[in-house]
Amino acid sequence: MYQPWTVKYKPKTLKEVVGNKEAIQKFVEWVKSWDRGIPPKRAAFLYGPPGVGKTVTVEALANDLKMELVEKNASDYRTEEAVKRFAGLASQYGSLFGTKRIILFDELDGLTGTADKGGVKAITDITKTAQCPIVLIANNAFDPRFAFLRNYCLLIEFKKPSTTDVLKHLKGICLKEGIEAEENALKFIAQRSEGDIRSAVTDLQALAQGKKRLTYDDVSWLGFRDRQETIFTVLRMILYGKTCEGAKRAVDMADVDTDMLFEWIYENVPAHLTDPHDLARAMDALSMADVYRGRIRKTQDWSFVRYVVDFMSAGVAMARVNTKTSGWTPFRFPERIQALSRSKEERAMQLEIGRKIKRRCHISATRAAKEVLPYLRIIFKNNVKMAAGIAKWLDLTPEMIEYVAESKEKAAAINKLLS
Ligand SMILES: Nc1ncnc2c1ncn2[C@@H]1O[C@H](COP(=O)(O)OP(=O)(O)OP(=O)(O)O)[C@@H](O)[C@H]1O
Ligand SMILES: [Mg+2]
């Protein structure tokens, strides 16, 4: 069974948490100070970048000190009522069996906008009167929404751990997995993660799981991390995957959702599976995935999602029979998504032109923009004289002409004929 290494190697005790020694020390002392009575600040506010161990620190500490951890994510306490239900009583009374309790409000950044004002207010109320340690976590503690709440909190900053610390953690994992890794390879992964241990561990798993050895060459093609790098790793695992398992695993590692991943695969299959039989097989698999996507959309029955995943990952990976891996083909951003995310102005312009067409052709402006505009585009690009005639007939503005012609020179020529 696939298990993410971030879960498998999640620190169970504070000793295993790497980096941020000072912050952790400060936090431990504050929690222990509760033994001597209620401290001036009843809440600790841990903040800092993602993947550095904020949540894990609280969990490991509760484990070390044998405390009961009452834990929720922001999505569970958007409203005042939800917060009170979750933490109101718990914060006031001891636990059933006399163990000490710690209450954690994680991922406070998730609370957004005015609708959640009640949530922050309720957390503040609880913090003022709590009889047990309250822990708050957010990436940014200095958001104005927390201004008032901050007064009641001991602020503890978590910083990005050093490359050396990340490296140490990766080495530990390799040791346990029985992977012999080149120092350089691990260093590369560590550097690339820029202090985000979660992403370092995910990368390591993507690159090294099931291997006996990990070399610098295995990892160096990755380049430096950004959002898209992760998708590139995933695409590579699918389009060049040798096993069904590996390809399916890649889907779990993607930091985009299944639909978006589908678009990525669909866009990139033709350039990476150049043999026509391979390509046909891959497209068959994708069309099957799409059939199940449609079924999910219609029935909202999400159990079909595993078929979608199987077809678009394993199905595509197994399509490669004849295509040789030669050279380096870059991955492309999905065109369909690009088209969707086209700027608002462009859509407004299309609609304006659509309205002009509507007046003459008696079809809806949207339909005109969708169905007529592409033909106009072909004409405007190839026949200046005809374009000028149409432009006059439709009463297009110079901006519209330029938009349809997609070229300043063509537009100038058309406008010249018009005047
Ligand atoms: N300091 C660390 N030492 C060891 N493992 C870590 C550390 N930080 C993160 N990890 C690994 O990354 C995973 C995620 O860490 P954690 O949830 O604590 O991050 P976080 O700081 O709370 O991030 P976020 O702001 O995204 O919630 C852990 O389960 C663990 O596997
Ligand atoms: Mg967290």
pLDDT at 224: 43
Based on its alpha-carbon atoms, the radius of gyration of the chain, rounded to whole angstroms, reads 28
* Contact partners, residue 278, CB within 8 Å, separation at least 6: 319, 320, 321, 322, 323
- Cβ-contact 76, 86 below 8 angstroms: yes
Segments in the chain below pLDDT 50 = 224-228
Report the C-alpha gap between 403 and 399 in whole angstroms: 6
The label of the residue with tokens 């949540």 reads 55
Ligand 1 within 6 A of 195 CB?
no
Of all protein residues, the one whose alpha carbon is nearest to atom 18 of ligand 1 is: 53
Spatial contact of 341 and 380, defined as CB atoms under 8 Å apart: no
Calculate how far, in angstroms, residue 106's C-alpha sits from the geometric centre of ligand 2: 6
Q: Is 42 in the pocket of ligand 1 (CB under 6 A)?
A: no
Say how far apart CA 165 and CA 151 lie, in whole Å.
32
Cα 161 to Cα 157, 166, 195, 202: the distances in Å are: 12, 7, 5, 16
Nearest CA among 17, 19, 12, 6 for reference residue 65: 12
CB of 54 shorter than 6 A to ligand 1: yes
pTM, entire model: 0.58
Q: What is the pLDDT of residues 156-186, one digit of tens each?
A: 999 999 999 999 999 999 999 999 999 999 9
What are phi and psi for residue 67, nearest 5 degrees?
-100, 155
The answer, yes or no, to whether any atom of ligand 1 lies below 6 A from the CB of 170, is: no
Q: Report the pLDDT value the prediction gives residue 244, as an integer from 0 to 100.
A: 86
What pLDDT digit, counting tens, does each position of 296-332 carry?
888 888 888 889 999 999 999 999 999 887 677 888 8
pLDDT of residue 227: 42
Q: How far apart are the first and last CA of the chain?
A: 72
The tens digit of pLDDT for each residue in 337-373 reads 766 666 667 888 888 999 999 999 889 988 898 889 9
**Nearest 5°: phi and psi at 44?**
-110, 135
Q: Using CA atoms, how far apart are residues 150 and 146, in angstroms rounded to an integer?
A: 6
What pLDDT, on a 0 to 100 scale, did the predictor assign at position 151? 93
What distance in angstroms lies between residue 345's CA and the mean position of ligand 2's atoms? 38
- Nearest CA owner, ligand 1 atom 25: 50
Cβ(139) – ligand 1 distance below 6 Å: yes
Residues 261 and 102: their CA atoms lie apart, in Å, by: 39
What string of H, E and C letters represents the secondary structure of 43-81?
A: EEEEECCCCCCHHHHHHHHHHHCCCEEEEEEHHHCCCHH
CB of 160 sitting under 6 A from ligand 1: no
- Domains for the chain: give ranges and CATH numbers: 20-157 (3.40.50.300), 240-341 (no CATH), 344-418 (no CATH)
